[in-house]
Amino acid sequence: MILECDNVTLGYELHPAVHHLSIQIERGTLMALVGPNGAGKTTLLKGFMGQVSPLEGSITLHDIQRSDIAYLPQLNQVDRSFPLSVQEMVSLGTWRETGAFGRLRKQHKQRVASALNQLGLSGFEKRLIGSLSGGQMQRVLFARLLVQEADLILLDEPFTGIDSRTTHDLMHLIESWHQSGKTIIAVLHDLDQVKNHFPHSLLLSREPIAYGATNDVLTKENWLKARQLNEAFDEHADHCGHD
Amino acid sequence: MFDYLISPFLEFAFMQRALMGCLAISVSAAPIGVFLMLRRMSLTGDAMAHAILPGAAVGFLVAGLSIEAMTIGGIVAGCLVAVLSGLVSRLTDVAEDASMAAFYLISLSVGVLIISVNGSQVDLLHVLFGSALALNNDALYLLAGICTVTLFALAILFRPLVVECMDSQFLQSVSRLSPLAHFSFLVLVVLNLVGGFNALGTLMSVGMMILPSASARYWVKGLDMLLVLSCLLAIISCYAGLLLSYHVGWPTSPSIILILGSFYVLSFLFGMNGSMMSKLSKPKHLSA
C-alpha cells in the first residue's frame, strides 16, 4: 500500500468537499478519479499532497515522503505569460535534489534533455512558455513530471483542452509509468478514456460513491447517484453527525 | 559636453552623494519592480508606498528629521500593513488586494493626520518627495545596506519567487517555501520603499520600481534580460534626472521619475515587443 485514507473529510470553512472517505491505494495502481464538477476531486489531490488538512480523519503515506509526490496542476493554473524558457520550466523538476538554492549538475541537465526529447520538445529549449500552444505546454509539464522521477504521480485534468494526438502520446507515457511500477492517480472527465486505460477508479461526489475495478465503479446507477448527491449540496446543512 | 555631463559630479559632494544614493536604490528597487510586475502587484507597490507614511511620521515626531527614526518607523508601518492585509485575507473571505487597499488607506490617513497636526508643510513635502540632494552619510549607509540586503535576499529567494509567481501549486507541492517567499518579498518591497523615500520620497520611490520594469518589458522577453535592462534604465534615469535637476533647477525626484516616464512612453510607442509601433508595422502574418 502507498496511500491510505481513513474516514477523511476535507473541506473549506467547515463545508466538506470530500466527506468521510476511506480507501487504500496499492503501490503501482493506475487510478482514475472521476465525478461531476465540484465533486472534490482536486481537493482530494491537495489533501494527498498535504496542502489541505483533513477536517476529520487522516491521510497516511506509506514508505514515501510528501516530496516523493509529483503533481500536474490544471493547465489554467500556470501563468504562461511569465518569461521563463521551456528548459528552465522543465529543470524545476529537479527541485527535490537541487532544492530552492542548489545549482543544476551535469546529470540533472542530461535528465532534462532526455525528458524534453521523450516528449518531442527537442529544439524548444529556449522558447518562452508563453509562445507555446496548449498541447505543447502540457507536454512541457509532463516533461517536468518525468524529471521529478516521483513514486506517486497526481494528475489534475491532464487532457482538458488537449488535442487527440497529444492526448494519445501523453496517455502512452502514463501507461509506461504504470508499467515501471509508479502509482498514478488522474482526475478525468472522459469516461470512455477511463474505461479504456484505467484499471481502477474512484467515483466521488463529495461522498465516495464507489471504488474498485473501473467496470464495477462506472455503472449507470453509480453515476446517477453521484449526480444526485452533487446537485443536493446544501449551503445551510446541519453539523455532520457521522460516526 | 564634459562640463555638462561630468563636472557637476566632480565639483559638488552633494551631487556625488545623490548619485551614489540613487544608484544604490536603482539596482535594488528595479529587480523588485520586475517581480512586482510579473506577480501583477504593481499597484500593491503603490499602496505600500502610502502605507509607510504614518511610520515615518511617528519617527519624525519622536526624533525630528532623523533618518534612523523615520526609517524604522516606515519599516514597521509597511510590514504591519503587509502582514495585517495578508492575515485578514487568509482568515476571512476578502481577497488580499481589497484588504491591502483598506489597510493602506487607513495607514495613509493616519500618516497625513500626524504630519498635519504636528509638523509643517515643509516636513510633509520632505516625506512625500524626498531630498536626494541632501543625503547625508547615514542615509547613504542606509541605502547601501538596503541594496546589499535586497540583492542577497533576491539571490537566495530567486527560484522560489519565480515558481511562486508562475506556478504556485507546483511550489506548494515540492516545498513549504511559498509563504516565506511571499512575505519575504513584501518585506523587501517595504525596505526598498523606505530606502527610496529618503532619496525620492514616499510617492516617487515606487516609480523607481515600476517604471523600469514596465519599460523593459517592451524591449526584452527573458527574465534575466528583463532584470538587467530594468536596472540599466533605472541607473541611466538617475544620472540623467540628477543632471536635469542640476542644470534646469527642477526638484530631483520628479526629474528622475520623469526621465523614467519618458523611457516608458518611448518603450510603449517604439519597443520591440508588443509596442504600438511593432503592432502597426508588423506584416499581416508569417508564412506557415
For the segment A124-129, the average pLDDT, to the nearest whole number, is: 93
Is residue B35 domain-resident? yes
pTM (2 decimals)? Answer: 0.84
Residues 6+ apart with CB under 8 A from A147: A90, A91, A93, A94, A108, A111, A112, A115
Are the C-beta atoms of B218 and B226 separated by less than 8 Å?
no
Output the pLDDT for position B262. 96
Distance CA(A200)–CA(A25), nearest Å, equals 10
CB B273 within 8 A of CB B220: yes
pLDDT at A94 over 90: yes
Q: Is residue B95 part of a domain?
A: yes
Domain interval for residue B25: 2-272
A36 secondary structure, DSSP code: S
Closest of B80, B43, B242, B153 to residue A100, by C-alpha: B153
**Nearest C-alpha of chain B: how many angstroms from A99?**
8
Tell me, yes or no, if A78 comes closer than 8 A to chain B by beta carbon.
yes
Residue A203 phi/psi, 5° resolution?
Answer: -95, 120
Q: pLDDT value at position A16?
A: 74
Say whether pLDDT at A90 is over 90: yes
What torsion do the CA atoms of B40, B43, B48, B54 make, to the nearest 10 degrees?
-170
Helical ranges in A50-201 per DSSP H: 86-91, 95-98, 106-118, 134-148, 164-179, 191-197
A82, B169: Cβ pair inside 8 Å?
Answer: no
Q: What is the CATH number of the domain that holds B76?
A: 1.10.3470.10
- The answer to whether residue B281 sits within a structural domain is no
Measured torsion, CA atoms of residues A34, A39, A45, A50, in degrees rounded to the nearest 10: -160
CA distance A220 to chain B (A): 34
Q: Which residues of B230-250 are buried (b: 16+ CB within 10 A; e: fewer)?
A: bbebbbebbbbbbbbbbeeee
Nearest to A167 by CA among A177, A158, A176: A158
Q: Could you give all domains of chain A from N- to C-terminal order, each with its CATH number?
A: 1-64+151-243 (3.40.50.300), 76-150 (no CATH)
B175/A95 CB distance under 8 A:
yes
Domain-located, residue B278: no
**3-class secondary-structure state, position A4:** strand
Contacts of B260 (CB under 8 A, 6+ apart): B207, B208, B211, B212, B215, B233, B234, B237, B241
pLDDT attached to residue A128: 93
Per-residue pLDDT of chain B (288 residues; tens, 9 = 90+): 777 788 888 888 888 888 998 899 999 999 999 999 998 888 888 888 888 888 887 887 787 767 778 888 888 888 888 888 878 877 777 777 788 888 888 888 888 788 777 766 656 666 666 677 777 788 888 889 999 999 999 999 999 999 988 888 888 888 888 888 888 898 899 899 888 877 777 777 888 999 999 999 999 988 999 999 999 999 999 999 999 988 998 888 889 999 999 999 999 999 988 888 888 876 666 666
**Contact by Cβ (8 Å): B25, B192:** yes
Chain centroid, CA A24 distance in Å: 17
Among partner residues A67, A78, A82, which is closest to B174 by beta-carbon distance? A67
In this model, does residue A157 exceed pLDDT 80? yes
Grid cell in block for residue B173? 507541492
Q: Is residue B53 part of a domain?
A: yes
Number of structural domains in chain B: 1
* pLDDT on residue B127: 65
The count of residues in chain B is: 288
Nearest C-alpha neighbor of A70 from the set A90, A40, A41, A53:
A90
Task: Single out the residue of B284, B136, B260 nearest to residue B199, CA to CA.
Answer: B136
Tell me the angle at which helices B178-199 and B67-91 cross, rounded to the nearest 10 degrees.
150
Per the prediction, chain A carries an average pLDDT of: 89
- Provide the 8-state DSSP code for B245: H
Q: Which of residues 69-128 of B touch A (CB under 8 A)?
A: none
pLDDT (0 to 100) of residue B123: 62
CB pair distance less than 8 Å for B221 and A73: no
Alpha carbon distances (Å) from A59 to A10, A31, A149, B113:
10, 17, 22, 53
Q: Which residues sit opposite A153 in a β-bridge?
A: A70, A184
Q: Is residue B236 part of a domain?
A: yes
Query: Chain B residue with minimal CA distance to A49?
Result: B173
Quote the radius of gyration of chain B (alpha carbons, Å).
20
Distance CA A109, CA A187 (A): 30
Distance CA A97, CA A100 (A): 9
Q: Is B136 part of any domain?
A: yes
Asked, for residue B74, whether it belongs to a domain, the answer is yes
